[in-house]
Amino acid sequence: MSNSNNTNKITNYFTSSSSSSSSSSTVDENSGNGNNNGNKKRPSPVSRNDTILDPVQLQDLNNSNNNNNNNTNNGSRQSTSPTLSYSTSTTSTTSTSTIKQGSTVKSEPTQPQQDTIQIDSQTKKRSKLTESNNNNNNNNNNNNNNNNNNNNNNNNNQQQQKDKLEEDIEFEFEDEGEDSKTIFLVGEPGEPTRDTYNGDYVKLPCSSKNVYKKEDKYLSKWYLICTVFMNPIKNSEELEDAIKEINPRCNWNFQGLHDFFETEYSEAEALEFFTKILPKIIKLALEMPNLFPRPIPLLKQNVDREIVLSQRQVSCLMANALLCTFTRQGPNVKHRNNFPSVNFHSLYSAPLSPARSAKLKCIIHYFKKILNQPIIKLEESLISYHRQVLSDDETPDWESSKVLLRNLTCLADGTIEENGIGMLQVDFANKVIGGGVLGHGCVQEEIRFLINPELIISRLFVEELAENETVIIIGTEQFSKYSGYGDTFTWAGDFNDETDRDSLGRRKTSIVAMDAIKMYGDRFKQFAPIHVGRELLKSYCAFFDRLSATVLSPVASGNWGCGVFGGDKHLKSIIQYMSSSQAGRDLVYHAYGDPQFSQELLSIVVKLQSSGATIGELYDSLWQYYTLMQQSKSSLSLFQYLEARFG
């Protein structure tokens, strides 16, 4: 099926943006001047010392330096999709290369000329920076009597603009104003690229606005990435060199990666990775300009929005994450922001624990498998990432709710992914989605992200979750089996995911990320009404469906927030039972090998249902239990109290 057919299939569901806008240039803080630790074993693929970048927003900045030397090189601007043209001079001949969207670099001899980079970019609006420079230039031309003064003012203004640029201050950008909450990002064949690079969209490495400063010149980061990864990489040391060459300011530790290939992989397995798998990963990563004609909106706080990508697009983003080509996302990359890093560098650091080794095996297996699937299949397979925001009007009045409790099934054994086929499967999430998946963490959320690695890319565009927000991801594929948990987590081989697809081409695997409160110190404080209300709000936001007109699928959940977060499983099971019932869903609860708790939960559910208890009455009971326990300091459990009241 073509992209056109794929789009027709979802016409009634998706609305995509179509207008073009210009965007701003920012300096990549991972690049530029700085010391690159470690000795280089691979020579720099191209000398860029005299290369001048001249994009639209930076033209006048570079012209400021060129005017002082009476030597100006202006870049051409055309209304076409972004094209980078490079000329590299030598003593006798010059090799001119043109890199278009995802194309192979071809070289042919030409006459010697001064080294330049020219960037052509489709532009609809100009930034205030360019307007200001144009106004200054007009004043200089029209005011002959004050020409010297105007030139001085112009230079001062340009220097101020340079300073602002280096501080990562965003340029003004007119939002596209999409009316739909769902944005379909698979482009049509031949669709022109909207090169958008600011704090509202993912800053793609291939953007012509992705630049870094070297000495007094602004250089193309994507050109650097392409040239660095064109050279063969024969081992983990050379992979480290390549990643550090495109991130010279970052003092990252790669010892864990080196240890992995020395101790966990045989010589034949390592050779296969560096000669067969890694070259395909690099090729996939460098196809980014062709695969993303539409900018990827950031899923920001307080904005209910869904984006839809193809499995092929997600694999390209994953390849770039493995190669660490992404800059930090969000409006201000120099100070703390609420977007996590998606680059895999933290996964490469020491020490190499058994669990971290298993993580790397999961990631490598994902690429082995995805790279061997037909492209047309990956283009037709869709994945949606939805930041769901619960408004005040949609928040239930728990105290007065007359809704009856629905069915609850409790399973002593098995996992959510095994038993939850066709259900809404809960990810016991961190408010920073993915938690420690790329670090030391290896509990429920991290494991789910490793066996379904397409979940990891949500870290690229999902901002930290607020209390009334969750993330619903539909369509990811499970690639791996596993055993163990935490320190005992082990990769257990390939998993063949045969999950059916919906009418949009998504696998019918719905995963909702909802973060629990972290409880420290006195664990009884989680029974306080303010904390109970927060957990009810969060879980209801996860289970609520404002769109479906059919019977909602059950929720597959378990001991949410009851591990390292310190939650009480008696309380959390009742909270999830209340919120799923309020949302109109049955609950399938996983006790994770605790048959005694499973029986206790089923027993109290029978008593609640037989008494005709409403959600409002159960909410009032939680309040009374908290008050009683504060006064009496009794050892009475929540289930014992509920049994006494409703039994």
Q: What is the pLDDT of residue 180?
A: 67
Domain boundary among 329, 353, 375: 375
Clarify whether residues 294 and 154 are in a common domain: no
Clarify whether residues 361 and 415 are in a common domain: no
Domain boundary among 315, 345, 375: 375
What is the dihedral sign for C-alpha 294, 298, 304, 306? positive
Rounded-to-integer distance, Cα 451 and Cα 455, Å: 9
Residue 512: phi, psi to the nearest 5?
Answer: -115, 125
Rounded-to-integer distance, Cα 462 and Cα 465, Å: 8
Rounded-to-integer distance, Cα 369 and Cα 236, Å: 21
Question: Of 104-118, 241-255, 384-398, 413-427, which gets the smallest average pLDDT?
Answer: 104-118
Q: What is the pLDDT of residue 520?
A: 85
Clarify whether residues 8 and 48 are in a common domain: yes
- From 445, 454, 469, 477, the catalytic residue: 445
- From 176, 241, 417, 427, the catalytic residue: 427
For residue 505, give every residue at least 6 positions away whose Cβ sits within 8 Å of its Cβ, in sequence order, or none: 6, 9, 380, 381, 382, 475
Clarify whether residues 333 and 229 are in a common domain: yes
Residue 84's DSSP bridge partners are: 99, 119
* H/E segment holding residue 217: strand 217-220
Clarify whether residues 322 and 415 are in a common domain: no
Clarify whether residues 151 and 13 are in a common domain: no
Question: Of 57-61, 155-159, 180-184, 510-514, which gets the smallest average pLDDT?
Answer: 57-61
Distances (CA, A) of 497 to 117, 294, 313, 481, 512: 46, 29, 19, 10, 19
Average pLDDT over residues 198-208: 96
Residue 288: phi, psi to the nearest 5?
Answer: -50, -45
> pLDDT tens across 116-149, in order?
333 333 333 333 333 444 444 444 444 444 444 4
Structurally, the chain folds into a number of domains equal to 3
Clarify whether residues 227 and 300 are in a common domain: yes
Residue 507's DSSP bridge partners are: 501
Q: Residues of the chain with pLDDT > 90: what percent?
A: 66
Q: What is the pLDDT of residue 336?
A: 60
Rounded-to-integer distance, Cα 83 and Cα 623, Å: 63
* CA 259-261-263 angle, 5° bins: 60
Clarify whether residues 626 and 642 are in a common domain: yes
Question: Higher-confidence residue: 222 or 85?
Answer: 222
- Catalytic residue status for 620: no
Domain boundary among 352, 375, 398: 375
Task: With a cut of 90, say whether residue 559 has pLDDT above it.
Answer: yes
Query: Where do runs of H (alpha helix) occur along 167-235?
Result: 221-228
Clarify whether residues 485 and 566 are in a common domain: yes
**Domain of residue 156, residue span:** 128-166
* H/E segment holding residue 510: strand 510-515
Q: Which residue has tokens 């895999």?
A: 344
Q: What is the pLDDT of residue 335?
A: 55
> Sheet harboring 94-99: ordered strands across?
107-110, 94-99, 83-89, 116-120
Q: Which long-range contacts (CB under 8 A, 24 or more apart) does 8-13 make?
A: 9/503, 9/504, 9/505, 10/184, 10/308, 10/504, 13/182, 13/504
Q: What is the pLDDT of residue 547?
A: 86
Q: What is the pLDDT of residue 332?
A: 67
Q: What is the pLDDT of residue 334?
A: 60
Task: With a cut of 90, say whether residue 81 has pLDDT above it.
Answer: no
Q: Are 403 and 615 in contact (CB under 8 A)?
A: yes
Q: What is the pLDDT of residue 558?
A: 98
Number of helices and strands (H, E) in the chain? 20, 18
Rounded-to-integer distance, Cα 5 and Cα 495, Å: 30
Task: With a cut of 60, say whether residue 21 has pLDDT above it.
Answer: no
Look at residue 123 and give its three-state secondary structure.
Answer: coil
Number of neighbours of residue 152 by Cβ within 10 angstroms = 11
Cβ burial, residue 635 (10 Å; 0-12/13-18/19+): exposed
| pLDDT tier, 550 (very low <50, low <70, confident <90, very high otherwise) | confident
Rg of the Cα atoms in the chain: 28
Q: What is the pLDDT of residue 157?
A: 52
Clarify whether residues 141 and 119 are in a common domain: no
Rounded-to-integer distance, Cα 420 and Cα 418, Å: 6
For residue 422, give every residue at least 6 positions away whose Cβ sits within 8 Å of its Cβ, in sequence order, or none: 508, 553
| pLDDT tier, 347 (very low <50, low <70, confident <90, very high otherwise) | very high
CATH code, domain carrying 588 = 3.40.220.10
- Catalytic residue status for 600: no
* CA 120-125-126 angle, 5° bins: 75
First and final CA of the chain: distance in angstroms?
Answer: 59
Q: What is the pLDDT of residue 179?
A: 52
Average pLDDT over residues 337-348: 94
Q: DSSP letter at 262? A: I
Q: Are 341 and 320 in contact (CB under 8 A)?
A: no
Rounded-to-integer distance, Cα 385 and Cα 304, Å: 11
Average pLDDT over residues 405-432: 97
- From 29, 200, 379, 446, the catalytic residue: 446
Rounded-to-integer distance, Cα 360 and Cα 439, Å: 11
577 assigned to a ligand binding site: no
> pLDDT tens across 260-314, in order?
999 999 999 999 999 999 999 999 999 999 999 999 999 999 999 999 999 999 9
Question: Of 44-58, 362-376, 388-402, 600-614, which gets the smallest average pLDDT?
Answer: 44-58
Task: With a cut of 90, say whether residue 590 has pLDDT above it.
Answer: yes
Exposure string of 297-309, with b = 16+ CB inside 10 Å and e = fewer, is bbbbeeeebbbbb
Q: Are 259 and 360 in contact (CB under 8 A)?
A: no
Q: Are 308 and 184 in contact (CB under 8 A)?
A: yes
> pLDDT tens across 513-529, in order?
999 999 988 889 999 99
Q: What is the pLDDT of residue 214?
A: 87
Rounded-to-integer distance, Cα 567 and Cα 557, Å: 14
Clarify whether residues 271 and 409 are in a common domain: no
Among candidate residues 571, 560, 566, 557, the one with its CA nearest the CA of residue 528: 571
Rounded-to-integer distance, Cα 83 and Cα 193, Å: 10
Q: What is the pLDDT of residue 626?
A: 96
Rounded-to-integer distance, Cα 461 and Cα 384, Å: 12
485 assigned to a ligand binding site: yes
Clarify whether residues 157 and 237 are in a common domain: no
Rounded-to-integer distance, Cα 172 and Cα 24, Å: 8
- Catalytic residue status for 497: no
625 assigned to a ligand binding site: no
Among candidate residues 249, 200, 244, the one with its CA nearest the CA of residue 225: 244
Peptide bond into 82 cis (omega under 30): no
Q: DSSP letter at 406? A: -
State the DSSP string of 468-497: TEEEEEE-----EEEE--GGG-EEEEE---
**Which of 114-118, 159-163, 255-259 has the largest mean confidence?**
255-259
Exposure string of 252-275, with b = 16+ CB inside 10 Å and e = fewer, is bebebbbbbbeebbeeeebeebbe
Q: Are 491 and 479 in contact (CB under 8 A)?
A: no
For residue 321, give every residue at least 6 positions away whose Cβ sits within 8 Å of its Cβ, in sequence order, or none: 342, 343, 344, 456, 457, 460
| CA atoms within 13 Å, Cβ hemisphere of 228 | 24
Give the strand pairing for 424-429 and 480-483: unpaired
* H/E segment holding residue 640: helix 638-646
Rounded-to-integer distance, Cα 236 and Cα 552, Å: 48
